[in-house]
Amino acid sequence: MIPHLLSGVYAAAITPCLPDGTPDFTGLLQLLTFLAERGCHGALISGTTGEGPSFSAKERLSLWEAASAWRKGRPDFRLLAGTGTPSLSETKELNHAAFRLGFDAVVVLPPFYFRNASENGLFEWFADLIEASVPVGKYLLGYHIPVVSGVSLPLSLLQRLAVAYPAKFGGLKDSSGSLDSAAAYVAGLPGNAVLVGNDKLLASGLAAGTAGCITALANLRSPELRHIYDAFQRGDATSESQAALDRMRAAMDNTPPAPAYIKALLHAQHNFSFWSVRLPLQDFTPAQITVALKHVQALETAIVHET
């Protein structure tokens, strides 16, 4: 099977912020360089881990402009933009902006305010969006994260979009955390990219036919994710590497919220500035950082001894 153009390992990138909550554009460029040099095929900017809904449309655009300018030096690094809002008109504007800046795809939440919308209503919403704002040669990926959005993207809906817009609908990011869900999407959406949103599902998802992942932990552990991805392509074993990664993911999941955890460990482990999160999230305290760092260091030591 020929890999989808969007196949690979993507970071659901955090958004570096200064203490007052404004975007740190220099920090964003540093982060993107870090991710590219550690094996990521690309990054999702302004997704859930990037606190996308906490930023205005103008702020998102400024972040995308900075990422687009940075990408001129790394043209093979793919950029995805998180654009979904409850407003169809605003989501169209965000899509236009992202594609004008050269982004490869948009990752679109369903309109999440009216949670009892019918499938026909959702289909017409996405159909209007695709027709009005996705150019030829670019892709829209649905964003299935019902625990956050409160709105599922049923397979039947995505199949209708795939049939109606085969050149513009690219698949989805499945952040349900369920292998059965990802496998069902793979089986029902042949030729489209299903990218899992949980690091624990990378190896099993690839075996089920997924195209890769877009994950929060890729901000910190992208070399391990890329190792698993490449090993699978070669037909090599991935179970030990995946088991080690699972423990790192569990450490993050047990210390929410993920954006604050990642920013704290990027600072503690990789000497980045201590980037803030936006309210209503709160930054880790020094004590929380110490505890989280000790836990990860203990896991890393255990993994080295096992190998």
pLDDT digits (tens, 9 = 90+) for 144-184: 999 999 899 999 999 999 999 999 999 999 999 999 999 99
Q: So which residues are the catalytic ones?
A: 48, 113, 143, 173
At 303, is the pLDDT very low, low, confident or very high (cuts 50, 70, 90)?
Answer: confident
Report the alpha-carbon distance of residue 11 to residue 275 in Å, rounded: 17
Share of the chain above pLDDT 70, in %: 99
Domain coordinates of the chain in residue numbers?
8-236
Averaged pLDDT score across all residues of the chain: 96
6 pLDDT exceeds 90? yes
Cis check: omega of the bond before 257, within 30 degrees of 0: yes
Q: Is the pLDDT of residue 1 over 70?
A: no
Residue 306: predicted pLDDT:
72
Question: From CA 180, how far away is CA 286, in angstroms rounded?
Answer: 39
Residue 161: in which H helix or E strand, if any? helix 155-164
Question: Taking residues 201-230, what's their average pLDDT?
Answer: 98
pLDDT digits (tens, 9 = 90+) for 233-267: 999 999 999 999 999 999 999 999 999 999 999 99
The residue to which tokens 């309210």 are assigned: 279
The owner of tokens 């690309």 is: 42
The pLDDT of residue 307 is 60
CATH of segment(s) 8-236: 3.20.20.70
pTM: 0.96
Beta bridge partners of 9: 213
